Amino acid sequence: MDKHEELLKLAAEHGTPLLIIDHDKLRQNYRTFKEHLPRVQCYYAVKANSEQQIIETLFEEGSSFDVASYNEFMQVYQYIKHFDKKERKHFVWDKIIFSNTIKDSPTLAKIKQYKPLVTYDNSAELTKLKHHCDTAGLVLRLKVPDTGSQVEMASKFGAEPRDAQQLIQEAFDMGLNVEGVSFHTGSQCTNFDNYTVALDIAATVLHDARKKGFPLNLVDIGGGFPVPYDSSVPHFETLAVLLNSEFARLFEDDIQILAEPGRFMVATVATLVSEIIGKARRDSKMFYHINDGVYHTFSGVVYDHWIPNFHAFKDGETEICAVVGPTCDSFDKISLSVQLPRDLEVGDYLCTDNIGAYSNASSTKFNGFVGAKILHKK
């Protein structure tokens, strides 16, 4: 049975919209990451796709986790605490980093008991940490270039490198412990120069701090590793060669290196089958209305700058068509430029590949519509 036959069978059995998550592909992505970056401990960015089954599969593979909220923290913690029986001083640090640099005071108070590993990038955050979570191990997030990345980060996160030593000194003066530094070059980073510059910045800050007697020993290189959405995307393996060379040049063996891949792990593991529920020719263009949209699995079109893809299960003469969602909001347009057969009918299916990242994770219930049913292929 080929892929299309299998998808049609699953759609007939489970209904649509149907999001199919392939855990064999998820394992393959994790193993590819570890094979090419053996020195780096993977902390999967839960925000990319927070399905519990994804967390479980990656944990079984050896992954740690990057969380950004109390709910994400507890989702991971409550699962892994039952399975990780090793006697380690920093159980949570080994498996979780709270990498949102801004955390509200109630959240800090609630996670204090777990002695978490957290990021910060400003003095106000240090004051909150001192008052509400002084058990934490701190990682200073640095502002680095993110030119050319699909989603930029530098405008919202990261301390200016020139302020780094002051923020490290300030933390230690408060009796807090700074473990290392972190950065993020932006999501879907295809400009590998960003990594080279960022690693130089991180190395300078870390080594200057060590020379002053501060025992920093951790570098978190964030995420942004490129996903092969199309043939124009540079290969992850090429980036890995560059990164490994820079690690050896810049960091002693006692320095731990972390990364927070999200998109890289899950983008290619999911396929969506949607159904045409209406069609009309509007201003000479064929509009296909489907039972999923930008408020649901295609939310990445809005929040992630993602360019969707569609494939029909039927052949036929094609033209440029529009594909729009089911809600009554005219904003719910998925794409106005898709090459599809002009004679598809109501009840026909469309397939969308590489839709595992930032899709169902940010689905809503707008207009009373529910998101796609999720099927896990283990």
Catalytic residue among 133, 189, 321, 328: 328
Residue 326 structure tokens: 């089911």
- How far apart are alpha carbons 236 and 216 in whole angstroms? 28
Q: What angle do CA 303, 308, 314 make, to 5 degrees?
A: 150
Q: Is 133 a catalytic residue?
A: no
- How far apart are alpha carbons 135 and 243 in whole angstroms? 32
Q: Is 58 in contact with 30 (CB distance < 8 Å)?
A: yes
| DSSP classification of residue 357 | S
End-to-end Cα spacing for the chain:
18
Q: Is 289 in contact with 279 (CB distance < 8 Å)?
A: yes
- How far apart are alpha carbons 114 and 88 in whole angstroms? 13
Q: Tell me, what amino acid is at 88? A: R
Torsion of CA 313, 272, 305, 153, to 10 degrees: -150
The CA distances from residue 280 to 44, 293, 324, 344, in Å, are: 42, 17, 11, 11
3-state DSSP helix/strand/coil % of the chain, to nearest 5: 40, 25, 40
| DSSP classification of residue 288 | E
- How far apart are alpha carbons 222 and 244 in whole angstroms? 15
Helix 193-211, helix 164-173: angle, nearest 10: 40
Helix 123-132, helix 164-173: angle, nearest 10: 20
- How far apart are alpha carbons 49 and 22 in whole angstroms? 13
Q: Which ranges of the chain would DSSP assign to H, the alpha helix?
A: 3-14, 23-36, 52-61, 70-80, 91-95, 105-111, 123-132, 164-173, 193-211, 236-250, 263-266, 300-303
Active-site residue numbers?
Answer: 328
